[in-house]
């Protein structure tokens, strides 16, 4: 009988905390939160040759291709933009990633869509949220969405892909829409 071992979930609690992770083919990114707020999970990327892009809800630009594609570049797919209650009464959204070999950076963001549209002040710590990254090699990373800074866009973590090594970094940066437009590669796509 084969021995099976599980890897422990690693929580990146503080800004700047990081962890290397591995995957053979794919991983998933899941946003979990416990309020009725319309939060959106989005990823933005930069390729090794400087091309910027993103995968996010098709409700921003009424363009179904914004949901991404799993079978061709960018090999990233948002699994719909419907808040799905999971066990424990939490809501979740999920993005699946098949291959990031062409990407140098992947920015994982949460957008408080309702507050942004209504231009209402909000913080992310009130939603008891987190982002979990689970790989097909059993790595399990968690980054808490616990910032008390006001803003509509939370750059919760970044994945760096350098020389074949993938590292997740807790960014813990909250932006206004204008700041995100200027500072997160690819973010300007949702503003067009």
What are the pLDDT digits (tens) for 91-147? 899 999 998 999 999 999 999 988 998 999 999 999 889 999 999 888 899 999 999
| Pair 9, 133: CB distance under 8 Å | no
Looking at per-residue pLDDT, the higher value among 89 and 45 belongs to 45
The verdict on whether omega for the bond into residue 149 sits within 30 degrees of 0, i.e. cis, is no
Residues 44, 54: contact at Cβ < 8 Å? Answer: yes
The predicted model scores a pTM of 0.92
Q: What's the confidence (pLDDT) of residue 88?
A: 57
Task: Catalogue all structural domains in the chain, each as residue range(s) with its CATH number.
Answer: 10-191 (2.60.60.30)
DSSP 38-89: -EEEEEEEEETTS-EEEE--TTTTT-GGGGEESSSTT-EEE--S--EE-GGG
Question: pLDDT above 90 covers what percent of the chain?
Answer: 69
Which letter, b or e, does each residue of 99-124 get, where b requires 16 or more Cβ atoms within 10 Å of its Cβ?
A: ebeebbbbbbbbbbbebbeeeeebbb
Q: Is the separation of the CB atoms in 41 and 31 below 8 Å?
A: yes
What tens digit of pLDDT does each residue of 92-105 get?
A: 999 999 989 999 99
For residue 45, pLDDT over 90 is answered with yes
Name the residue among 80, 131, 142 with its Cα closest to residue 108: 131
């Amino acid at each position: 009988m084969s021995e099976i071992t599980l890897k422990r979930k690693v929580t990146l609690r503080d800004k700047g905390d990081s962890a290397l992770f591995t995957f053979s083919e794919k991983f998933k990114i899941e946003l979990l939160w416990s309020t009725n707020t319309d939060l959106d999970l989005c990823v933005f990327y930069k390729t090794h040759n400087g091309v910027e892009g993103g995968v996010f809800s098709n409700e921003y630009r009424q363009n179904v291709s914004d949901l991404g594609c799993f079978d061709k570049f960018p090999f990233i797919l948002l699994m719909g933009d419907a808040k799905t209650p999971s066990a424990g009464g939490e809501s979740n959204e999920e993005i699946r990633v098949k291959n990031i070999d062409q990407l140098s950076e992947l920015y994982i963001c949460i957008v408080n869509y309702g507050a942004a549209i209504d231009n209402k002040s909000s913080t992310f710590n009130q939603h008891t949220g987190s982002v979990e990254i689970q790989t097909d090699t059993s790595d399990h990373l968690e980054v808490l969405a616990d910032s008390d800074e006001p803003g509509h866009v939370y750059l919760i973590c970044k994945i760096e892909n350098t020389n074949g090594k993938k590292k997740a970094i807790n960014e813990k940066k909250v932006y206004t829409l204008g700041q995100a437009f200027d500072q997160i590669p690819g973010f300007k796509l949702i503003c067009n």
